[in-house]
Amino acid sequence: MRKPVISAAVAALALGLTLTACGSKDEGSGGGGDGGALIVGATAVPAGEVLAYIEKDLAAKNGLDLEIKEFTDYVLPNTALQEGSLDANLYQNEPFLDDFNKSKGTDLVPVVDAYLPPMGVYSKKVQDVADLPDGVTVAVPSDITNEGRALKLLASEGVITLKAGAGTTASPGDIVKNPKNLKFKELEPAQLPRSLDDVAAAVINNNYAQDAGLSPADDAILLESAKNNPYANLLAVKKGNEDDPRVEKLAELLTSDEVRKFIQDKYKGSVLPVTSG
């Protein structure tokens, strides 16, 4: 079933247990816009790697002191941003952010799109989604927006048909045609790569696929197109901090030619750069 809402108390406790810092800078206060290091939360791949490149090669010469904190899930980076222990985060798309604000009562806002990490379908059983046998199980993310995204990807290839108007929060209940009688298993996004031995296929978020050693460009049997794709990962801040000069500088660097080249060279189509404007 879809992941239930995590209470603020539990999230805060988990934050203290799972949050790790990249680099050796002293701990900052976060969330204040008061100068000093800009503390940015990110998942490891690709967000953490893109930010690490900026920290190493671009930040100092552009007058930015950057501190990166690494997370392993999709809830705590927003919880920490709302509570003020982060100044910004980079890992999510706008549909996810909108749903998070709505369901958790947060007021986080996008600053700039940074890159597109295309979601893919992976399988150890077949080489094409058209070859999925009748009645097999396909694993999908359990959170609302990523499950909807996964189902829309399958629908784009005609594997299933969603009802008219099914949007970013589509669920298996919105499937109106399922010619292969597929069964859907909802799992935490981080668990999806490990499910490949047990299911016919899994629809996996880009960062978790790469964490597991999968190449979206080479290993996915179906991969999202960049055309008209609303799922670019974005730099986000708490409302009111959009004009923090440090945030503006990071947004500028994220959409720079240098970062575009880094993404193209490092990920070779598994992550796609996004330009500003």
- CATH T-level topology, domain 8-118+230-273: D-Maltodextrin-Binding Protein; domain 2 (3.40.190)
Amino acid occupying residue 48: G
Of the pLDDT bands very low, low, confident and very high (cuts 50, 70, 90), residue 259 is very high
Would you state the pLDDT for residue 26?
A: 40
C-beta contacts of 47-55 below 8 A and 24+ residues apart: 47/90, 47/91, 47/114, 47/207, 47/233, 48/22, 49/266, 50/90, 50/114, 50/115, 50/254, 50/259, 50/262, 50/263, 51/90, 52/22, 53/259, 53/262, 54/250, 54/253, 54/254, 54/259, 55/23
Is the distance from CB of 126 to CB of 159 less than 8 angstroms? no
Q: What is the pLDDT of residues 193-220, one digit of tens each?
A: 999 999 999 999 999 999 999 999 999 9
What does the pLDDT read at residue 18? Answer: 40
- The predicted structure's pLDDT at residue 114: 96
Mean pLDDT to the nearest integer, 224-232 = 90
User: How much is the average pLDDT of 77-97?
Assistant: 98
C-alpha to C-alpha distance for 199 and 9, rounded to whole angstroms: 35
> For residue 273, how many other CB atoms are within 10 A of its CB?
22
5-29 tens-digit pLDDT:
333 333 443 444 343 334 333 444 4
Residue 19: name the closest of 66, 70, 68 by CA: 70
Q: Answer whether 208's CB lies under 8 Å from 161's CB.
A: no
Whether cis (ω within 30° of 0) applies to the bond prior to 46 is: yes
Taking a C-beta distance cutoff of 8 angstroms, is the pair 87, 33 a contact? yes
The domain spans of the chain are 8-118+230-273, 120-223
Q: What amino acid occupies position 117?
A: P
- Tell me the percentage of the chain whose pLDDT exceeds 70: 86
pLDDT at res. 34: 57
The model's pLDDT over 152-192, given as tens digits with 9 standing for 90+, comes to 999 999 999 999 999 889 999 999 999 999 999 999 999 99
Judged against a pLDDT cut of 60, whether residue 2 lies above it is answered with no
Fold type of domain 120-223: D-Maltodextrin-Binding Protein; domain 2 (3.40.190)
Give the mean model confidence (pLDDT) for residues 48-68.
98
* Whole-angstrom distance, CA of residue 220 vs CA of residue 234: 23
Above pLDDT 90, what percent of the chain? 83
State the chain's mean pLDDT as an integer. Answer: 89
pLDDT at 228: 83
Asked if the domains 8-118+230-273 and 120-223 are classified in one and the same CATH topology, the answer is yes
- pLDDT average, residue stretch 256-274: 95
In which band, very low, low, confident or very high, does the pLDDT at 261 lie, cut at 50, 70 and 90? Answer: very high
The reported pLDDT for the residue numbered 275 is: 56
Judge contact between 207 and 120, C-beta under 8 A.
no
Buried residues in 9-25 as b, exposed as e (16+ CB within 10 A): eebeeebeeebeebeee
Mean pLDDT computed over 256-271: 96
Question: Which range is least confidently modeled, 12-26, 125-139, 261-275?
Answer: 12-26
What per-residue confidence (pLDDT) applies to 186?
Answer: 98
